[in-house]
Chains A and B, each alone.
Chain A
Amino acid sequence: MTMHAMDCTTFDDQLADYLEGDLAPADRWQVEAHLATCVRCTALVRDLERIRADASELPELTPSADLWSGIARRIDAPVVPLVPRSTPNVTTRRRFERLRTAAIAAALVVVTASVTYTLTVARDSARSGESIAANTQRGPIPDTNVASSVRDEARRDTLPSSNVGPAPESVASTNPTPASGRATTQAVRNTPESVTYSREIDRLRTIFARTRSQLDPRTAAIIEANLKVIDDAIAQSEAALAQDPASRFLSDQLNSALDKKLELLRTAALLPNRT
């Protein structure tokens, strides 16, 4: 090997870029100058270019066996035929589904309304029964004027500070109401529930009047204030019910107010014993 401007080691370093055509023109000229005089490097380049050329012309290869059967098995997913449905066509089916949905909705409404009505009536009956039961458990009912209505009692019952006694009187004769309200008041007045309310309130009022002096004046004042609020609520419910006697909501509100008044009077009657 003769001496050149580029030695074989340097040539080897640049050979890859030379074969890839990545050398700068000056470097490429040096490589080619070296090749022109170096047998070893010329043979190397010739062999590598031959390998590249041969590689690009390599023949196809044939598998040892036909591979199609294996491929066919894998791509032949079982085809499940679409079984004709015995059901009606899509339009008919959709119409049927709509009708079925509507029927279910209607049935749901009927059931819900029936349950609501039943529960409401049952609650009212239970409330009436509770009051009667409570009254019965508390012993003999004082022999008061059962003809006085609960509303009349509530309106009149403003808890005098000292002497409160049962003084039932017929409000129907002193407190006229509109025709509809009168009818409603009369109807409520004649029910066993009204009688029970009236008796219980009268009895508790008597007890509270007797024991009031034993209470702290501030406590008695609070009780009286609360009773006043409840009486106002009773009066408002009664007035509204007179305008709309069929309103179950107003009737419930009135009963609720009466219940609250009873509860408060019971609490007040028992206070001395508790303390």
Chain B
Amino acid sequence: MTVATVDNQSFTTGRPDADDVALAATGDRLAFERVYRAHVNRVFAICARMVADRALAEELTQDVFVRAWSKLSLYRGESAFTTWLHRLAVNVVLNARKSEGRNRTRFGSEPDEVDSLPHARASSWTPGMSLDLDAAIAGLPPGARQVFVLHDVEGYKHEEIADMLGITSGGSKAQLHRARLLLREALNR
């Protein structure tokens, strides 16, 4: 299989190719670009939903792929590449949120109160527009939003989320329930 053939296949089908991952792990930039194009929308979606800011999500998406490029040699294929990459994306987002500057200025540092309702905080959502689920998610308080995205959107278990966020499994369940109730309220307006 030539590189050109793999290139064309990946770009036309958009499907990840294990060969591309393997080639990218050896430093093949063209193969890595194909991996990027196959996964960028999914990675961007994780970032955008977790931070509720498209511009910041684009920066973080770039961070994810730059980090993936440097870490790809460590990928052993023990899990699906998508699982590995999505977990990497989550880690990049969470680490960025811990960053002092971003945490205060861009991720929002509002009190994560259970009784607060979704508000027009996300740049992707404007008051008065018909709320869809994505817009409602963007309006969730950060803690509830992250748990909801990780659990209901990305399919992580409470134990995994608790480990990622540094909270308890019960705390994750409570945040999830709170997020769902807030979303229902926002969607039923």
Contacts and interface: CB of A to CB of B under 8 A. Distances in A.
Interface stretch (A65-73, A101-109, A165-173, A211-219): A65-73
A20 interface: yes
Interface stretch (A45-53, A200-208, A242-250): A45-53
A63 B184 contact: no
A64 interface: yes
B36 A61 contact: no
Contacts of B66: 71, 74-75
A51 B184 CA distance: 7
Contacts of A75: 29, 32, 65-66, 69-70
A51 B187 contact: yes
A71 B62 contact: yes
A60 B46 CA distance: 9
Interface in B1-54: 29, 32-33, 36-37, 40-42, 44-45, 48-49, 54
B148 A55 contact: yes
A240 B108 CA distance: 95
Interface residues of A, number: 30
Given A55-B133, A56-B155, A63 B44 contact: yes
Nearest to A54: B133
A60 B41 contact: yes
Contact of B173 (A20, A44, A51, A61): A20
Give the interface SS of chain B, mostly helix, strand, loop or mixed: helix
B45 A60 contact: yes
B174 interface: yes
B146 interface: no
B97 interface: no
Given A61-B45, A64-B54, A68-B33, A48 B65 contact: no
B148 to A, nearest CB: 7
B155 A58 contact: no
Contact of B180 (A52, A58, A61, A67): A52
B153 interface: yes
B48 to A, nearest CB: 5
A62 B36 contact: no
Interface of A: 15-17, 19-20, 22, 44, 47-48, 51-52, 54-56, 58-65, 67-68, 70-72, 74-76
Given A61-B41, A68-B37, A71-B36, 9 more contacts: A16-B173, A47-B184, A47-B188, A55-B148, A56-B155, A63-B41, A67-B58, A68-B33, A75-B65
Across the A-B interface, the 8 shortest Cβ-Cβ residue pairs: A60-B41, A16-B177, A55-B152, A61-B45, A75-B69, A47-B184, A55-B153, A74-B66
